[in-house]
Structure 1
Amino acid sequence: MRIHRSTTLAAAAAVAAGLLGAGTAQAAPARPDLVVTKVTWAPQSVAAGQQLAFSATIKNQGTAATPADVIHGVGFQVDGKLRTWSDYVTWSLAPGESTTVVASGGPTGSSTWTATTGTHEILAYVDDAGRIAESNESNNRTKTTFTVAAKPTMTTSLRGLTSYSTFPAVPGKTGIASYLSGTGYGACFVGGRVVPGTEKSFGTYGAGNTDYYYSGPFSQSGKVEVPARATSATSAEINLGEIYKWHYGDPEYLLDCAAGQTPDFTRWHVTKLTTNRWTVSDTTWGGNLLATATATLDVDLPL
């Protein structure tokens, strides 16, 4: 029998080529790989009741850029429950590139979480909605722990026209803002004396500040910056000129005095002092309310 050698050699070559191909690894396609390299929160010194803003640094450690115009979402979980998220980064990250995102929303509509006392676990999860195909989908989460102190308590009292407050020490500087409230009175005067029977209540008035960052015309009234670790503070004087501001210094709109009589304020019967303690930041406007103290008063202040 005649054997066709050329056909046999061709078949052998095909088998050899097939065997060689089966043993050759195919190159993996280039893909991005997102990871969280850092999780932070602000303010760093946390007390119960404060609003915490979470942020995370994400990095593309893959071999291809992430797609543009696709949300690079990050979810922030506290103790296993989703609290806030970031969903505004849509630009492409090249291999090796990092960016820091800040929470911009959440399930309740807020971009912050109200801190509660105790030690908590925070977990940041990049590409939380699975919008981006990655080479490794199992390394998107990073977690750490932080501790929230009990809400600081404080006391306050009126000393002259200043407030004196005591409170627990905290690591950072804080601000005190004090506010007086009570009833204003006025009367008709003749020769510097009150005409009997003409004194009248003008209603509730206030003076001082409740917000440490208020920047109005009486911005320093009742306020003081408190150094870190201090345990007491005396505020600036509460400016009683604010009482006149309420009616532009003209009580005649509220009094019907006879000819020859002059309407004016007589006294301010103060019934309450409220003092708020705020966190203070050198880099951002505003702060967080740490504590509030009130004192019941029964004091007449001359106006």
Structure 2
Amino acid sequence: MRTKRFTTLAATAAVAASLLGAGTAHAATAKPDLVVTKVTWAPQSVAVGQQLAFTATIKNQGNAPTPSGVIHGIGFQVDGKLRTWSDLSTSPLAPGETRTLTANSGPTGSRTWTATLGGHEILAYVDDAGRIAESNESNNRTKTTFTVTAKPTLTTTLVGASSYSTFPAMPVKTGVASAISGSGYGSCFTDTGAVPGTETYLGEYSAGPGNYYTGGPFNYSGLAEVPAGATSATSVPVSLTEIRKWHYPDPGLKITCADGQYPGFSKLHVTRVTTSRWTLNDGGWSGVTQLATATAVANADLPM
């Protein structure tokens, strides 16, 4: 009888332990945990009217990778309103791994937001559509602030074949690009120069870059690099060889010359100079955003 009683007590204790959760322990299911570690925008120096592109760095600080084929969505809100998002990243993000994603679309179809004057708050929200089950669903958002300044002003004038421009100082390096336009004239030429009395109006022409760049055969024509803090700049002279490059020899010259003579451009009577100021890509050479532009009347003959 004693043995039967002890067996019954042991069985009862085992059942009770099982009911109280004192049996075999079960480990919690491993899950990813996504957070935003950094939010940036380009261009960094923001002026009214610029198109701002937002970028966020996300990290999986959980103990399981994110599922393959599921979007790591990031919504970018400005002042509480969704402006753009990123929805192209679908490859797994391993525990401890980071990934930098840039907005590729938005409610209007644009990947950028048009900057408005004043201070703003930007919120980046990873897994904004709740596609991924995480161990912590409350740490997906990061906020930061930025200020949009008034669009810089600019004045310009023609000095020889160069532009002289003034503008407000900026804390970063920028660049200016100047183009000139006006009436082109041609003459008949011999080996000793233009033949007097043969000059003819040919049409309207322009030369010089429309934006800040250094590529091409006329690398520095009409350009000036503006150091941080500078308030004026004189461009490299605009190269009129650009007109010759694209229009000479040209049947459109329509200049009738005597035997032993040949037609060619003789001068550009400049009537207008247009200068634009540009941000630079990472302080480098490729113009990315126009900050300001100005056009001035000119009255100058430049020989070609």
TM-score clears 0.5: yes
2:57 is matched with 57
Judge conservation of contact 2:212–2:286 (CA < 8 Å) in 1.
Answer: no
Root mean square deviation of aligned Cα: 2.9
**C-alpha distance in structure 1 between counterparts of 2:9 and 2:303, whole Å:** 118
Deviation, structure 1 residue 263 = 3.0
SS of 1:170 mapped into structure 2: coil
Q: Does 264-273 or 9-18 show the bigger shift?
A: 9-18
Letter in 1 for 2:292: A
Which range is displaced more, 233-242 or 179-188? 179-188
Distance 1:135 1:264 in 2: 76
Distance across 1 between alignment mates of 2:199 and 2:159? 27
Q: CA deviation at 1:262?
A: 4.5
Paired with 1:250 and 1:19, the residues of 2 have a C-alpha distance of: 97
Corresponding residue number in structure 2 for 1:288: 289
1:116-135 alignment, distance < 5 Å: 116-135=116-135
The 1:264–1:286 alpha-carbon spacing in structure 2 relative to 1, beyond 3 Å, is closer
What SS does structure 2 have at the residue aligned with 1:70?
Answer: coil
Query: Match for 2:290: what amino acid?
Result: L
Unmatched segments (≥5 aa) in structure 1: none
Secondary structure (helix, strand or coil) at the match of 2:288 reads coil
8 A Cα contact 1:179 1:238, kept in partner: yes
Q: CA offset at residue 160 of structure 1?
A: 1.1
Partner amino acid, structure 2, of 1:213: Y
In 1: Cα distance, 2:239 partner to 2:189 partner: 24
- Listed one character per residue, the Cα deviations across residues 147-191 of structure 1 (whole Å, up to 9, x for unaligned) are 011110010001111110000001110111100011212245799
Q: Indicate if the aligned counterparts of 1:60 and 1:98 stay in contact, CA closer than 8 A.
A: yes
Partner of 2:240: 240
Partner residue, 1:140:
140
SS in 2 for 1:287: strand
Structure 1 counterpart of 2:126, which letter?
V
Deviation at 1:222, TM superposition (A): 0.9
The equivalent of 1:183 in structure 2 is 183
Q: Which amino acid aligns with 1:294?
A: T
- SS of the residue corresponding to residue 243 of structure 1 reads helix
Write the letter of the residue equivalent to 1:115.
A
* Aligned twin of 1:265: 265
Name the TM-score, length of structure 1 as normaliser.
Answer: 0.86
Of 282-291 and 36-45, deviating more is: 282-291
What does 1:20-39 align with in structure 2 at a 5 Å threshold?
Answer: 20-21=20-21, 27-39=27-39
Post-superposition offset of 1:64: 1.9
Comparing 58-67 and 103-112, the one that deviates more? 103-112
In structure 2, what is the equivalent of residue 227 of structure 1?
227
Whole-Å separation in 2 of the counterparts to 1:268 and 1:227:
31
Q: Between Structure 1 and Structure 2, how many residues are aligned? A: 298
Counterpart in 1 of 2:255?
Answer: 255
Instruction: Check whether the contact 1:252–1:264 (CA below 8 A) recurs between aligned residues.
Output: no
SS of residue paired to 1:99: strand
Task: State which drifts further: 90-99 or 182-191.
Answer: 182-191
Deviation at 1:25, TM superposition (A): 8.6
The yes-or-no answer on 1:75 pairing with 2:75 is yes
Question: How far off is 1:34 after superposition?
Answer: 0.8
Partner amino acid, structure 1, of 2:90 = T
Shift of 1:50: 2.5
Q: How far, CA to CA, are the matches of 1:78 and 1:238 in structure 2?
A: 42
Question: Which letter does structure 2 place at the counterpart of 1:185?
Answer: Y
Contact 2:214–2:286 (CA<8 Å) still a contact in 1?
A: no
CA distance in 1, matches of 2:80, 2:214: 38
Quote how far apart the aligned CAs of 1:207 are: 1.2
Q: Comparing 31-40 with 225-234, which one deviates more in the overlay?
A: 31-40
The letter for the 2-side match of 1:209 is P
Aligned mates of 1:221, 1:215 — CA distance in 2 = 11
Shift of 1:298: 3.0
Contact 2:278 2:289 in 1 (8 A): yes
Unaligned regions of 5+ residues in structure 2, if any?
none
Give the equivalent residue in structure 2 for 1:111: 111
- Displacement of 1:37 in angstroms is 1.6
Contact conserved, 2:36 with 2:58, CA < 8 A, in 1? yes
Whichever residue aligns with residue 108 of structure 2, its letter is T
Counterpart Cα distance in 2 of 1:57 and 1:236: 41
Distance 2:134 2:30 in 1: 9
Closer, same or farther in 2 for the Cα pair 1:284/1:144, shift >3 Å? farther
Q: Deviations over 1:255-288 (max 9, x none)?
A: 2345566533343222210001111234684421
Relative to structure 1, the CA distance from residue 95 to residue 194 in structure 2 (aligned partners, 3 Å threshold; closer, same or farther) is same
The residue identity in structure 2 corresponding to 1:162 is S
